[in-house]
Amino acid sequence: MPPRSFLAFVLLLISPVPPLTQPLLAQEALPRTPYGQFRKVAVNTGERSRLTVKKNWLGKRRPTHTVPILVLAGHADSQRISPGTRGYAVAVNGARPMQPGITDETFWNLATAKRIAKLGRQRGLNIRFYDPGVRTIHNGDDPRTNWSQGKRHAQAGGYALEIHYDAYGRDGLGSGVIPRVYGGQTVIDEHLAREFGSFPWDFRGVLGAPKRGITILEVGKLEGDLENKLRNPATRDAALNTIADRVVTTMAKALGVPQSFFQVPSLPPLSPSPGTTVAAQQSPLPPQVAVPPPIQSTPSTHRKTSTQGATGAATRL
Residues 136-146, mean pLDDT to the nearest whole number: 96
- Whether 12 is in a domain gets the answer no
Query: Considering only 30-34, 64-68, 80-84, 109-113, which range has the smallest mean pLDDT?
Result: 30-34
pLDDT at 6: 55
Q: Does residue 129 surpass a pLDDT of 80?
A: yes
- Whether 26 is in a domain gets the answer no
285 versus 107: the higher-pLDDT residue is 107
CB–CB of 57/201 below 8 Å? yes
Q: What is the mean pLDDT of the chain?
A: 80
d(CA 176, CA 173): 9
CB–CB of 42/232 below 8 Å? no
CB–CB of 160/63 below 8 Å? no
- Whether 130 is in a domain gets the answer yes
- Whether 20 is in a domain gets the answer no
Nearest to 42 by CA among 252, 233, 279, 253: 279
The kind and range of the H/E element at 146 are helix 146-155
Q: Does residue 190 surpass a pLDDT of 60?
A: yes
Amino acid at 309: G
Its domain, for residue 99, covers 44-317
Residues 217-234, mean pLDDT to the nearest whole number: 98
Q: Does residue 269 surpass a pLDDT of 60?
A: no
- Whether 8 is in a domain gets the answer no
pLDDT at 306: 34
pLDDT tens digits for range 237-249: 999 999 999 999 9
Q: Does residue 196 surpass a pLDDT of 60?
A: yes
d(CA 204, CA 177): 14
> Domain of 267: which CATH number?
3.40.630.40
pLDDT at 25: 30
266 versus 103: the higher-pLDDT residue is 103
Q: What is the pTM of this model?
A: 0.74
Packing angle of the helix pair 224-231, 236-255 (nearest 10 deg): 120
pLDDT at 123: 87
d(CA 230, CA 245): 15
- Whether 9 is in a domain gets the answer no
- Whether 246 is in a domain gets the answer yes
272 versus 248: the higher-pLDDT residue is 248
Grade residue 69 by pLDDT with cuts at 50, 70 and 90. very high
Query: Considering only 60-69, 192-201, 258-267, which range has the smallest mean pLDDT?
Result: 258-267
122 versus 35: the higher-pLDDT residue is 122
Domain count, the chain: 1
Nearest to 171 by CA among 88, 106, 103: 88
- Whether 140 is in a domain gets the answer yes
